[in-house]
Amino acid sequence: MSARKRIAALGGLSGVQEASLLNLDGSVIVSSVDAPSLSRAASSLGSALQALQRALPDLGAPMNLTLESENGALHVAQAGDALIMLTTTRDANLGAVRLELREAADELRAEHAG
């Protein structure tokens, strides 16, 4: 499945507000919405994930990060040299979202490796 279709599928999950694939510098590769709002967070999170990997090398590369807040959650998965980022509502099925996010990240990593 292409990155565009994969991100569109993530964006279509119940409770997902936005799904975007972004470069580590925050530039948008593809998004499920016309005006993505996650690009500013991507550059900061990309740097933070790289710093975390340097600080805790025994853990290996960060794979997924979920930040829960009062109004929903931010989900981040590293997909090679890019980040998949999702925002979800409070009532989203987080287990289903995490499973789909992990599968999308694995697929995108495999595409870039092969």
Question: What domains are defined for the chain?
Answer: 3-113 (3.30.450.30)
Q: Average pLDDT for residues 28-48, to the nearest whole number?
A: 80
Residue 84: band (very low, low, confident or very high) from pLDDT cuts 50, 70, 90: very high
% of residues, the chain, pLDDT over 70? 95
Phi, psi of 11 (to 5 degrees): -65, -20
Q: Name which residue leads in pLDDT, 60 or 73.
A: 73
Q: How far is CA 82 from CA 30, 43, 51, in A?
A: 11, 10, 16
Name the helix (H) or strand (E) containing 73.
strand 72-79
% of residues, the chain, pLDDT over 90? 47
Beta-sheet strand order (sheet of 64-69):
28-31, 16-23, 82-89, 72-79, 64-69
For residue 99, give the amino acid letter.
Answer: L
